[in-house]
Amino acid sequence: MAMGSRGAGRIRQGKLGWDFFGSELKLRREKFRLSQDELGRRVFCSGSYIGQFEAGRRKPQKDVAQRIDTELETDGFFVRVCEELIDSTGAQHYFAEAAYLESIATEIHTYTPMFVPGLFQTAAYAFAVFRGAFPLAEKSEVEAWVTGRLERQYLVEQAPKPVLWAVIDEHVLRRPTGGAAVMHEQLARLAELARRERIVMQVLPFSSGAPVLGGYVKLMAFDDAPPVAYTEGAMSGSLLDDPALVAKLQLAYDFARAAALPREASLALVESVAEEYGR
């Protein structure tokens, strides 16, 4: 389970990292007196996407790196750096990069088998989730993680986008994370959010059988860049941007969404379980 954005485990790779790739790209682009938009047009992507490469916030696909080498006459330099970084990447993009991508996404689709999605969690529920995962952590440290998670919720409360679509396993509703009072508050919050226009919430019921997706998945779409996926396991997470793999995860997500209860039925189930906890 990922920590909040402040505690995310981004491991630096020293001088040879995506920041290095970006700074070299900026240096060589400016040598050719090309704007980001001009280079983007030549390599078949947007100027803002080039800007994300230069800021070290996104990593290009190998074919894009090849086109950059051609346009900037760098004799395969960017392909070689790209290959080296892809081969050596561990947890450096763990959750910090995923949190950044959330902030610029136009759509976020999640499947959660264990917990309410982080963007929808109450403070008490988030504390219970972190405390369960890190029972020996100092209370102040857990509170800092909770603060970091709640800070990301401006995407729900303030931003006009992204569209948020959550498929939540019924197991999430039934597990008394933090106790009955915490669950009553959390599910009431979930029901309130599910009524908002740009938020879609569906429950995958026990009756649907074995889920297509076996773990946490987040799919993010953007105006001017290819979609990415983020998957998460115990103490680890992976940001995936290989088009074929993202497409497979999207298909699996679509099957899970199709097997889930309709929007109104999902809301009714959430409210019913909330009432049970409130008794």
Q: 123-177 pLDDT, tens per residue?
A: 999 999 999 989 998 999 999 889 988 988 988 987 788 999 999 999 999 999 9
The per-residue pLDDT for 7 is 35
* Region 59-65 average pLDDT: 83
User: Given a cut of 70, is residue 8 above it in pLDDT?
Assistant: no
Residues 145-154 have pLDDT tens digits of 899 889 889 8
Peptide bond before residue 113 is cis, with ω within 30 degrees of 0: no
Least trusted range by pLDDT, from 56-60, 70-74, 240-244, 250-254 = 56-60
H or E element that contains 86: helix 77-88
Query: What is the band of 237 on the pLDDT scale with cuts at 50, 70, 90?
Result: confident
Higher pLDDT, 171 or 81: 171
pLDDT at 27 over 80: yes
Does 178 or 60 have the greater pLDDT score?
Answer: 178
pTM of this prediction? 0.70
pLDDT of 35 higher than 80: yes
Q: In sequence order, what DSSP letters do the residues of 116-160 get, joined into one string?
A: --GGG--HHHHHHHHHHH-TTS-HHHHHHHHHHHHHTTHHHHT-S
Q: Which residues are paired to 164 by β-bridges?
A: 108, 199
Closest alpha carbon to 229 in 61, 220, 237, 110: 220
Please name which of 102, 104, 108 lies closest in space to residue 198, comparing C-alpha atoms.
108
d(CA 274, CA 190): 10
Task: Tell me if residue 96 falls in helix, strand or coil.
Answer: helix
Q: Say yes or no to pLDDT of 99 above 70.
A: yes
